[in-house]
Structure 1
Amino acid sequence: MPILLALDASSSACSAALLQRREGSDDVLLSRFALTPREHTRRLLPMVDQVLAEAGLAPAKLDAVAYGHGPGSFTGLRIAAGVAQGLAYGLDRPLFGVSTLEALALGAHRRHALTHVVTALDARMGEIYVAAWRCHEGRTERLSEEAVMPPERLQLPPGHASCGWVGVGSGWTLREAMSDEIRTAVGQGDTSLEPAAEEMVLLAARAYAAGERHAAHDVQPIYLRDQVAWQKSR
């Protein structure tokens, strides 16, 4: 059964997780997580070493590697991408990029049993990274495109305004800048919740089980802000 490693440095948090699927018995899920602003370079590889050591596994036993590909901190995304691509290249294993906003939604679902979640991360410069999700039985469905925008421009997916939305993530510290409609329709959730490798390894495992495989050089960070600038220039 497959063994996957995920790592993340997209936010103030730094994390690593190892998932070992076991036929006929419970899966093994090991993780490390710490709020370590500006220490990701120093902390990420030791976390990877720690989860491998706890599992008693050498890196060569991994079947795939995953990382939080964004959106998030430009510097953090590059750090995680460099480590993950280096591992995938060195081991000749597939690499999966996982949405930080989807991982955040799954984390809210697993920890707080939320079903309709608007995930928002503080993108600095008066903007947020945001997307809306429906979560059910450990799975996520994206209901709006991931985007970067000023908080006052945030809107709910058409036809879903009365779903009992809850907002999670650091972007909701900018709640007062959002419209009256959003503040009324979206309840305040966990603004301290950060994307984590624990959810990323679960999302990557589903993609792996579905037969997806990606070469390390094909999996790039998703910045969103660069994409928006490019579209406006056309």
Structure 2
Amino acid sequence: MKLLAFETATEACSVALYLDGQVRERFEIAPRRHAELALPWADALLAEAGVARTQLDAIAVGRGPGAFTGVRLAIALAQGVALALDRPVVPVSTLAVLAAGAAVAGPARILATIDARMGEVYAGAFLREGDGLAALDVERVLAPGAVELPADDGGEWQGVGTGFAAADGLLAQRLQSRLAAVDAAALPRAADLARLAAAAFARGEAVAAERAEPAYLRDNVALTLVEQQALRASRR
């Protein structure tokens, strides 16, 4: 199985090459440089491994949620490469990718969050099962004060992602009695995306390139002036 993965939904840009269980990755926190870096990194990874593009079985992509521009770019890159090679695309939730990078030694229940700006966070709850993940709830975009853990047996969770740093760490403060650990600096990585995508490909979850769609979770990309004033007032 040979798979190329693009994850650009946050300020981190990363590309990974999955080769029969082995993963090579380029990763950098590089706001506004994703379009400049992603394809050259992909070519470099393939060259280093001695693999031609035509040898790839599929292209993986972090479908979001995340920054609108970054998500659109990732989908466009994956579709462009896949269409040129006549290969399928494996879209994977960026929140699942983030959860997959959580500490293996931590609790198996993982709350993955990304700062969505505009006073909101993207949030998804997952359960680690062996080398895979199971979603415990639908992914949402909502205010940090509205995030709740799914009903369960009261076990501990670990939190990952920049949503825990949003609103002065409100989410971590609210859920601190249930969280064994929090990594508020964690960002999704293409290496984790590649591993999840390889498993998804084996399950038959790849789609035709033109069917790969972004997961924005919300339609509006900016607050109106009235909404901005209301948000500022709520923070006083």
When normalised by structure 1's length, the TM-score is: 0.88
1:41/1:14 Cα in 2 relative to 1: closer, same or farther (>3 Å)?
A: same
Q: CA deviation at 1:28?
A: 2.2
Q: Which residue of 2 aligns with 1:231?
A: none
For residues 176 and 166 of structure 1, the distance between their equivalents in structure 2, rounded to whole angstroms, comes to: 15
1:207 aligns with 2:197: no
Q: Contact 1:88/1:95 (CA < 8 Å) preserved in 2? A: yes
Match of 1:45 in 2: 39
SS at match of 1:4: strand
Partners of 1:60 and 1:103 lie apart in 2 by: 26
- Say whether 1:177 aligns with 2:170: yes
Q: Deviation per CA, 1:109-128, whole angstroms, max 9, x where unpaired?
A: 44x54411110100000000
After superposition, the CA RMSD in angstroms is 1.7
Closer/same/farther in 2, CA of residues 45 and 158 from structure 1, 3 Å limit: same
Unpaired stretches in structure 1, ≥5 consecutive residues: 22-26, 228-234
Cα distance, 1:142 vs structure 2: 1.0
Q: Which residue of 2 aligns with 1:134?
A: 127
Tell me the alpha carbon deviations over residues 118-172 of structure 1, each in whole angstroms, 9 at most, x when there is no partner: 1010000000000111113221111111000000001110124x21111110000
Number of the residue aligned with 1:3: 2
Quote the offset at 1:226 in angstroms: 2.2
Matched residue, 1:146: 139
Cα offset, 1:188, TM superposition: 4.0
Output the CA distance in 1 between the equivalents of 2:101 and 2:173.
27
Equivalent residue number for residue 197 of structure 1: 190
Query: Residue 109 of structure 1 contacts residue 138 of structure 1 at CA under 8 Å; is this kept in 2?
Result: no
Q: Are the equivalent residues in 1 in contact too, given 2:164–2:172 (CA < 8 A)?
A: no
Gap regions ≥5 residues in structure 2: 221-236
Q: TM-score, length-normalised on structure 2?
A: 0.88
SS of the aligned residue for 1:184 comes to coil
Aligned-residue offset at 1:71: 0.3
1:67 matched residue in structure 2:
61
Does the Cα contact within 8 Å between 1:109 and 1:135 map onto a contact in 2? no
- The question of whether the paired residues in 2 share the 8 Å contact of 1:143 and 1:157 is answered with yes
Q: Which residue of the partner structure matches residue 216 of structure 1?
A: 209
| Structure 2 residue identity aligned to 1:121 | I
Aligned equivalent of 2:155: 163
Alignment coverage as a number of residue pairs: 219
SS at match of 1:208: helix
Distance 1:46 1:179 in 2: 38
The aligned residue for residue 12 of structure 2 is 13
1:91 Cα shift? 0.2
Partner of 1:232: none
Q: 2: distance between equivalents of 1:173 and 1:187?
A: 16
Matched residue of 2:175: which SS?
helix
Q: Is the 8 A contact 1:108 1:114 kept in 2?
A: no
Q: Is the contact made by 2:164 and 2:171 (CA closer than 8 Å) also made in structure 1?
A: no
